[in-house]
Structure 1
Amino acid sequence: MSVTEFRILKWLREGRQSRKLILLIVFIALLLDNMLLTVVVPIIPSYLYAMEHESNTTDLQEGPSPPTASNGFQSIFSYFDNSTLITGNITEGAQLEELGLVATRHTAISTTPAPSDCPKADSSLLNENVKVGLLFASKATVQLLTNPFIGPMTNRIGYQIPMFAGFCIMFLSTVMFAFSGTYTLLFIARSLQGIGSSCSSVAGMGMLASVYTDDEERGNAMGVALGGLALGVLVGPPFGSILYEFVGKTAPFLVLAVLVLLDGALQLFVLQPSCVQPESQTGTSLFTLLKDPYILIAAGSICFANMAIAMLEPALPIWMMETMCSRQWQLGVAFIPASISYLIGTNIFGMLAHRIGRWLCAFIGMILVGISIICVPFAKNIYGLIAPNFGVGFAIGMVDSSMMPIMGYLVDLRHISVYGSVYAIADVAFCMGFALGPSAGGAIAKSIGFPWLMTIIGVVDILFAPLCLFLRSPPAKEEKMAILMDHNCPVKTKMYTQNSAQPYYAEEELENDE
């Protein structure tokens, strides 16, 4: 064996035991998953609208043609293209105008600009709210149905195989997005992504919770991992919108497919997904965890906070097209402030929330989400969206970076310290927000308008915020305390300090009682 091969094998052996390398793998997996999640945000509304309008124009062209004279029209182009190249005479032009097309009054080929660059008068644009909402919600819906199976499965076979399975499914979904040309195929690709996301997110968060046992370190690690999620949300919309406008629909998805392949290679060499590594003890059942009111409050915070951005993603581009006449690249750029602030929020409060109280960060974050989302419809142009979108992203970052460590903490405090099922619940909460948000939001935006949609979800977030106060000092179950004391586990008992302004230790409290 050569020296180079020996060093590579040594690096791989060390890597499999390195918590930082595992954190890097989870970071990249969440980054790519959320890039694929958000890269479609500026592409799909515009692409579906153009595809439907092209279909309508084709039907007109293939329908009964008006009477033609000797100087017939040689070419007819779509009204949606902002200019039309046609040849013909005055009579033919009047006949075509009755069909909704624009004709010139000259026999030579000429260009006629559309009366308006803004499609706000087009009723078909309003109908896109429902179609786009259902398409976006399909991923979260499938992920929601898959999570209850992935969580217990990780307890039996470990986190490595589900993590690698998530990569394989994500790669297939990305390729389908690149070459899908119909709404049905796009819907299937989006739904397939939900299965891959379930594997990656549940296994990734469970893996981090198992290797970072100290609560403060766990919070920092999850803050970094959520930074990958935030970076994916940050890069996805502008990356997709710019490549879509200047290169084409296929380009952003092919680039993502290459990046997913690189991530899969890293997982294959470091995690060894062919090896089954089950947990050493049987975890608490999923249904028992769902009966815990404190876990439900934490999950509800994740759900309603993320539902705000989930409603915003499909509805905001369409509202911008209606009211601001925004170009395609602007539809993705509008989400940059929210993405940057989410990245800032998760990194700051991943470390800070442990010191000031994660319950307090979540409480403030929920209120800030509600206020910011209500302010979005007051924007008159793309610059007016900067402040409210920044507030939405920063507040959701506060909530997510606080609630994800709390989920693991509650299991350590009140249940058996096996984390697959509890992070399946956390992912279910996340998915419920992204399933109910776009599907219900699209219908609400169509019926009562975008401003009322933002008002409703903002009020819901503000009303839910006081429930976070119950997470200030959740009690430990007596049987859990007895198990920890019997096994002399100071690391676990130290974790009870994480939510209190004045830390206490279970061992010290037991001595005082005696």
Structure 2
Amino acid sequence: MGGLDTLREFSLLRWLREGRQSRRLILLIVFIALLLDNMLLTVVVPIIPSYLYTVDDQAIAAQNHTPSPHPPVGTFQTIVSLYDNSTRVVSGAPGVTTPRPPAQTVPPSPLAPGNASKVDTDCPKGNEELLNENVKVGLLFASKATVQLITNPFIGPLTNRIGYQIPMFAGFCIMFVSTIMFAFSESYTLLFLARSLQGVGSSCSSVAGMGMLASVYTDDEERGNAIGIALGGLAMGVLVGPPFGSVMYEFVGKTAPFLILAVLAVLDGALQLFVLQPSKVEPESQKGTSLLTLMRDPYILIAAGSICFANMAIAMLEPALPIWMMETMCSRKWQLGIAFVPASVSYLIGTNIFGVLAHKMGRWLCSLIGMLLVGISILCVPFAKSIYGLIVPNFGVGFAIGMVDSSMMPIMGYLVDLRHVSVYGSVYAIADVAFCMGFALGPSAGGAIARSIGFPWLMTIIGVVDILFAPLCFFLRSPPGKEEKMAILMDHNCPVKTRMYNTQDSQHYQMGDDMETESDE
């Protein structure tokens, strides 16, 4: 038995040693990190607007010494839908529901002004309290991206100096703390702090993760495929988050979904600890191009702008769409998350399809078409009269953003290889800054615009912006490279880099097999 245990231990150590050299295992770690980060990002989308509305409503009722019209929100309890018109709370018996009298079961028509005041209803239609939630929820959602935006310029150069492993593991630790705070926070201030803390963890995970993939997948086509798969993890998080959060919140409570995410985060941290060895400092062998130099590159700015404005569309939808649905459709809690499922499914499809296809059709063309499709789809959202009317436009939005992200993320690494030093921490910090600007400006500005001029005008503004920006992607069709970089890349002593410009020789260079064979030797 002792010999068998020794053999198993030896096999495990050998698997871990080989795993540290395996690009596929590194890709898996990045995939899981992006999955959990974006699940936490989106699981709050259906929970926070409804939860804050309930908390504020109870606070106002307590100040006025009147019974709250909505049931109290507990930690683990079955919650009667806040916007369910078939039930109401009996005065003097909090949390107990009885059927509404037959004369009051029909919800008022959203087209008839004044009905909300004439007919007793639990559906909050356009009242001032609900409109104020647009701003509060928008600022809370934007806090994560704003903090991430501030942190990225420091994380990018840091990864160039100490390697990707330590920042990646730090991102896990911070995300775990943020998840626990979300689970047990009951005030707007603590929720705001938890969301902001998540921004620091996301910055570490996304910048280090993308940089790690770009460094191990040096071929342009393989890099595009790998980043497309990694973005599939992001898409899965966006897909699973809203419905998972809304269903758990409706039937179990606010705490449960965050505790489940915390357990999954611990498993991801253990995998990173054994495979990446985050205690080791592994700086890049050459000094990368400075962040300011990369930010002055017009081609990098166009790619970053595409990422920013495409994702700003969905960022504006996240806080504003649930409140608009409550106001115009009288939607229940579980519907607020389900409405985002078409966008999440199509984003997953888009990143997987165009991670491979974009290289063949031209990443600039794929991004241009994606930007146009985002704009057209977002313009169609306000025409929906029910949750079913949101399926097609939301599907189009997610699919188009998948086209843009899966095209522009590989282009960022390609532009660095072509025009700068092939060290990727800073350029993916810029990509993440662009992503965060969309998710910082989107919810904060979107909430204020929706309150001032209405949700339809908000969608019109961002849709037109995306359509007008789309033609700029044409400049990425054939970006010029520096002569000295071209000479180095075309040198026969650098066959891996040469593949980016001579795809006909791709069958002669199997990068994955070469790396793993050399590591075994």
Normalising by structure 2, report the TM-score. 0.87
- Once residues 482 and 471 of structure 2 are traced to their aligned partners in structure 1, the CA distance between those partners, rounded to angstroms, is 24
CA contact (8 A) 1:413 1:496 kept: no
What is the number of equivalent residue pairs in this alignment?
468
For residues 393-404 of structure 1, the aligned pairs below 5 Å read: 393-404=398-409
Pairing 1:441–2:446 present: yes
Note the alpha carbon deviations across 1:13-55, whole angstroms, 9 max, x for none. Answer: 0110110000000000000000000000000000000000000
Q: Of 17, 33, 43, which aligns to 2:37?
A: 33
Pairing 1:210–2:215 present: yes
What is the match of residue 7 of structure 2?
A: 3
- Amino acid of the residue matched to residue 444 of structure 2? S
For residues 293-442 of structure 1, the aligned pairs below 5 Å read: 293-442=298-447
Deviation (angstroms), 1:488:
3.2
Q: Of 456, 462, 471, which aligns to 1:457?
A: 462
SS at match of 2:90: strand
What is the match of residue 58 of structure 1?
A: 62
Pairing 1:229–2:229 present: no
Note the alpha carbon deviations across 1:178-225, whole angstroms, 9 max, x for none. Answer: 000100000000000000000000000000000001111110000000
- Once residues 163 and 84 of structure 1 are traced to their aligned partners in structure 2, the CA distance between those partners, rounded to angstroms, is 48
Normalising by structure 1, report the TM-score. 0.88
What is the match of residue 23 of structure 2?
A: 19
The unaligned stretches of length 5 or more in structure 2 are: 72-86, 105-118, 507-521
CA contact (8 A) 2:168 2:205 kept: yes
- Once residues 4 and 168 of structure 1 are traced to their aligned partners in structure 2, the CA distance between those partners, rounded to angstroms, is 30
- Once residues 43 and 87 of structure 1 are traced to their aligned partners in structure 2, the CA distance between those partners, rounded to angstroms, is 27
- Once residues 2 and 491 of structure 1 are traced to their aligned partners in structure 2, the CA distance between those partners, rounded to angstroms, is 40
User: Which piece of structure 1 moves more, 110-119 or 278-287?
Assistant: 110-119
- Once residues 86 and 137 of structure 1 are traced to their aligned partners in structure 2, the CA distance between those partners, rounded to angstroms, is 38
SS at match of 2:500: helix
Note the alpha carbon deviations across 1:210-265, whole angstroms, 9 max, x for none. Answer: 00011111100000000000000000000000000100000000000000000000
SS at match of 1:119: coil
- Amino acid of the residue matched to residue 228 of structure 1? G
Pairing 1:77–2:67 present: yes
Distance 1:9 1:246, change over 3 A: same
Deviation (angstroms), 1:77:
3.5
Deviation (angstroms), 1:495:
1.5
Q: Of 285, 291, 299, which aligns to 1:286?
A: 291
- Amino acid of the residue matched to residue 29 of structure 2? I
Deviation (angstroms), 1:110:
11
Note the alpha carbon deviations across 1:158-186, whole angstroms, 9 max, x for none. Answer: 00000000000000000000000100000
- Amino acid of the residue matched to residue 180 of structure 2? V
Q: Of 195, 208, 216, which aligns to 2:200?
A: 195
CA contact (8 A) 2:490 2:497 kept: no
Pairing 1:488–2:488 present: no
Deviation (angstroms), 1:484:
3.4
What is the match of residue 189 of structure 2?
A: 184
- Once residues 501 and 371 of structure 2 are traced to their aligned partners in structure 1, the CA distance between those partners, rounded to angstroms, is 24
Who wins on radius of gyration, i.e. which is larger? 1
Deviation (angstroms), 1:85:
2.6
CA contact (8 A) 1:85 1:110 kept: no
Pairing 1:48–2:52 present: yes
Deviation (angstroms), 1:3:
1.0
CA contact (8 A) 1:233 1:339 kept: yes
What is the match of residue 133 of structure 1?
A: 138
- Once residues 221 and 338 of structure 1 are traced to their aligned partners in structure 2, the CA distance between those partners, rounded to angstroms, is 22
- Once residues 307 and 294 of structure 2 are traced to their aligned partners in structure 1, the CA distance between those partners, rounded to angstroms, is 16
CA contact (8 A) 1:12 1:269 kept: yes
- Amino acid of the residue matched to residue 10 of structure 1? R
Distance 1:265 1:44, change over 3 A: same
Distance 1:479 1:255, change over 3 A: same
- Amino acid of the residue matched to residue 385 of structure 2? K
Deviation (angstroms), 1:285:
0.5
- Once residues 502 and 155 of structure 2 are traced to their aligned partners in structure 1, the CA distance between those partners, rounded to angstroms, is 30
- Once residues 233 and 318 of structure 1 are traced to their aligned partners in structure 2, the CA distance between those partners, rounded to angstroms, is 19
The unaligned stretches of length 5 or more in structure 1 are: 62-75, 89-100, 102-108, 505-514
SS at match of 2:70: helix
- Amino acid of the residue matched to residue 27 of structure 2? L
- Once residues 421 and 126 of structure 2 are traced to their aligned partners in structure 1, the CA distance between those partners, rounded to angstroms, is 58
- Once residues 61 and 122 of structure 2 are traced to their aligned partners in structure 1, the CA distance between those partners, rounded to angstroms, is 18
- Once residues 253 and 276 of structure 2 are traced to their aligned partners in structure 1, the CA distance between those partners, rounded to angstroms, is 36
- Once residues 263 and 18 of structure 1 are traced to their aligned partners in structure 2, the CA distance between those partners, rounded to angstroms, is 17
Distance 1:180 1:435, change over 3 A: same
What is the match of residue 241 of structure 1?
A: 246
Deviation (angstroms), 1:277:
0.7
CA contact (8 A) 1:230 1:343 kept: yes
- Once residues 501 and 460 of structure 2 are traced to their aligned partners in structure 1, the CA distance between those partners, rounded to angstroms, is 38
SS at match of 1:83: strand
Deviation (angstroms), 1:493:
3.0
Note the alpha carbon deviations across 1:66-101, whole angstroms, 9 max, x for none. Answer: xxxxxxxxxx6322345243379xxxxxxxxxxxx9
Q: CA RMSD in A?
A: 2.0
CA contact (8 A) 2:88 2:122 kept: no
Pairing 1:167–2:172 present: yes
- Once residues 405 and 503 of structure 1 are traced to their aligned partners in structure 2, the CA distance between those partners, rounded to angstroms, is 20
- Once residues 126 and 224 of structure 2 are traced to their aligned partners in structure 1, the CA distance between those partners, rounded to angstroms, is 49
- Once residues 497 and 27 of structure 1 are traced to their aligned partners in structure 2, the CA distance between those partners, rounded to angstroms, is 29
- Amino acid of the residue matched to residue 217 of structure 2? Y
SS at match of 1:275: coil
User: Which piece of structure 1 moves more, 113-122 or 45-54?
Assistant: 113-122
- Once residues 485 and 473 of structure 1 are traced to their aligned partners in structure 2, the CA distance between those partners, rounded to angstroms, is 17
- Once residues 324 and 502 of structure 2 are traced to their aligned partners in structure 1, the CA distance between those partners, rounded to angstroms, is 46
SS at match of 1:80: coil
Pairing 1:152–2:127 present: no
CA contact (8 A) 2:88 2:99 kept: no
Deviation (angstroms), 1:60:
1.6
CA contact (8 A) 1:142 1:195 kept: yes
Distance 1:157 1:110, change over 3 A: closer
- Once residues 486 and 466 of structure 1 are traced to their aligned partners in structure 2, the CA distance between those partners, rounded to angstroms, is 34
Deviation (angstroms), 1:496:
3.7
- Once residues 207 and 387 of structure 2 are traced to their aligned partners in structure 1, the CA distance between those partners, rounded to angstroms, is 36
Q: Which runs of 4+ in 1 moved over 3 A?
A: 109-114, 482-488
